[in-house]
Structure 1
Amino acid sequence: MRIITRLADLREETVRLRHHGTLALVPTMGALHEGHLTLVREARAAAASVVVSIFVNPRQFGPNEDLDAYPRQLERDAQALQGEGVTVLWAPEPGEVYPPGYATNISVAGVSSGLCGGDRPGHFDGVATVVCKLFNQVRPDMAFFGEKDWQQLAVIRRMARDLDLTFPPVEAIHGVAIVREADGLAMSSRNAYLSPVQRTAAAALPRAMREAISALQSGSPAAEALAGMRSRLAAAGFDPVDYAELRDGESLQEVERPGPATRLFVAARIGTTRLIDNMAVGARQ
């Protein structure tokens, strides 16, 4: 595996790799866990070469968010990626991605509204901007993202469609199912922030979501099922619950009653850690 930190070197290497077959990109912010490595394995199975990016993107963090505290462990991450057979680790410094005088921002309307877009103003502008830059830097044939950040995936697909991106084409932007811990908690780099007591309590999040989905499938009104879930989360120590909503899985429009494509979206804080999750409502989890 080659570790590259300069854009000129990356472009030279990706030109060479394309002569040997298809190229996949897995964008990450590092602090890799099994969820990330699952994306890498999907990419390895689909493409001749895999580029994994590790870049803690400052433009997607708000002024009071955890940019400085976000876990950084490049050496450990590089070892894990080496073991997975990754071809290139793209690990630029911020100045390489946003050089002096940088002044461009990408904003995606519609699917970025509400949910995390409502709680974190400007977050998805930062996501869309950096992912577009990564697509242009690597020019992959395909890209892989985790479905835990479902709204992020929708924003990226909308951006690719609207900007007529061909590296990768929108149909080659793949979502990969959420990888969960044994107790059901979705894997996340931010889980490392949790104390042992908080980590035990955090298992209430997926459990409360499954209970709400079971209630919905049994015919309970959405407002009643969501209120019950909020109460269970509060009892487990989550404060506040930033949102708990039913939305269409493709358009991300809020819905009042579940349909075949409906998903349950939740964001809640335990201590200082904000956890997000989503589940399909149409099928039992």
Structure 2
Amino acid sequence: MRVLKDIEALHSWRRDKQELGFVPTMGALHDGHLQLIKKATQSVDCVLVSIFVNPTQFDQQQDLETYPQSLKEDLALLTDAGVDAVFVPHEHHIYPQGHRFDICENELSRLFCGAHRKGHFTGVLTVVMKLFQLVRPDFAYFGEKDYQQLQLIKAMVRDFFLPVKIIACPTVRNQDGLALSSRNRRLSPEELNLAPMFYQTLIDDDDIESKISRLQALGFRVDYLQVYEDHLLAAVYLGDVRLIDNVPLNKST
């Protein structure tokens, strides 16, 4: 597996590659990421993963500073997963002139997570656009756990006529139902025991107000719990850790 640390190395490696699958990540890899990578390696001959903790999508400096990072362990997992190369740029590679230009979406990005995390999706879309321009993938793989993000990236690809096919992969969960997330590492043992009730409440046969009341009674702080098209979207805090999830409406009320 090649470790590509700058844009020149990426371009040199990419030059003779034909069909390419791409999995962008912020590291702290877990089984959810590995399922994306497995889907990619089963579909195309060559797979690139990126690890870049993107500062522009964090609305709170503390969240950025405490975001888990485990590059050595991540590289070992990627080697075992059969990845061809990993791109690990520094911030100055991705933002060589600072943050002068942004990709903004003016409708969906202002709802749900966007209403509670100012500038978050502008940061996400901007860095994904930059990575797509650098990597030039044929396929890119994203998890359905970040459902709002997934819809925004699909829309950006359509609206900017980008030659990449977005492959959506199902949310990966623990046996107790908790959606896998790098942020789960920051939960205390007590919070980890409680966290599965987030998903369980979403799929229980209650109306939305009852779900919110139940989550609050359990000790969650609810950011939002709302219907979007055919999904129920939700974000909560457990302690100082923010968790998001979604379920199809046929699994909830």
Superposition TM-score, scaled by structure 2 size: 0.97
Measured at CA, do residues 115 and 101 of structure 1 come closer, stay the same or move farther in structure 2, by a change above 3 Å? closer
Structure 2: 5+ residue runs without aligned partners?
none
Equivalenced residues, count:
253
Distance 1:4 1:66 in 2: 27
Using the TM superposition, name which of 176-185 and 225-234 deviates more: 225-234
Alpha-carbon shift at residue 63 of structure 1 (Å): 3.5
The equivalent residue for 1:29 is 26
Report 1:1-285 matches (<5 A).
1-18=1-18, 22-166=19-163, 168=164, 172-211=165-204, 214-215=205-206, 225-238=207-220, 240-248=221-229, 262-283=230-251
The root-mean-square deviation of aligned C-alpha atoms, in Å, is 1.3
Corresponding letter in the other structure for 2:25 = T
SS at 1:104's partner residue? coil
Q: Which moved more, 1:92-101 or 1:1-10?
A: 92-101
Instruction: Report what 1:254 is aligned to.
Output: none
Separation in 1, partners of 2:98, 2:76: 35
Distance 1:194-1:101 versus aligned 2 partners, 3 A rule: closer
Q: 2:5, 2:122 → 1: CA distance? A: 24
Give the conservation status (yes or no) of the 8 Å contact 1:24–1:140: yes
> Aligned letter for 1:3?
V
Cα deviation, 1:139-159, whole Å, max 9, x if unaligned, reads 000000010000001111111
| Structure 1 alignment gaps of length 5 or more | 216-224, 249-261
2:100 and 2:76 mapped to 1: Cα distance? 35
CA contact (8 A) 2:202 2:252 kept: no
Q: For residue 102 of structure 1, report the CA deviation from its aligned partner.
A: 4.7
1:180 alignment partner, SS class: coil
Secondary structure (helix, strand or coil) at the match of 1:92 reads coil
Question: Shift of the alpha carbon at 1:100?
Answer: 3.4
Q: What secondary structure is seen at the aligned counterpart in 2 of 1:266?
A: strand
Q: Secondary structure at the match of 2:223?
A: strand
Closer/same/farther in 2, CA of residues 58 and 27 from structure 1, 3 Å limit? same
**Alignment-derived partner of residue 222 in structure 1:** none
Alpha-carbon shift at residue 37 of structure 1 (Å): 0.2
Aligned to 1:258: none
Task: Give the Cα–Cα distance (whole angstroms) in 2 for the partners of residues 227 and 25 of structure 1.
Answer: 40
What is the identity, as a one-letter code, of the residue corresponding to 1:247? Answer: Y
Structure 1, 102-111 or 30-39: larger mean CA deviation: 102-111
Per-residue CA deviations over 1:40-71 (Å, capped at 9, x if unaligned) read 00000111100000000001011444111101
Aligned AA (2:137)? P
- Counterpart amino acid of 2:9? D
Please report how far the alpha carbon of residue 101 of structure 1 lies from its aligned counterpart in structure 2 after TM superposition: 4.7
Which residue identity lines up with residue 232 of structure 2 in the other structure?
A: L
Query: What is the DSSP-based 3-state SS (H/G/I as helix, E as strand, rest coil) of the residue aligned with 2:16?
Result: helix
Identity across matched positions, percent: 42
Take 2:148 and 2:63, find their aligned partners in 1: how far apart are those partners?
A: 20
Given that residues 108 and 158 in structure 1 are in contact (C-alpha distance below 8 angstroms), is that contact kept between their aligned partners in structure 2? no
For 2:112 and 2:98, locate their aligned partners in 1 and report how far apart those are by CA, in whole Å. Answer: 32
TM-score for the superposition, normalised by structure 1: 0.86
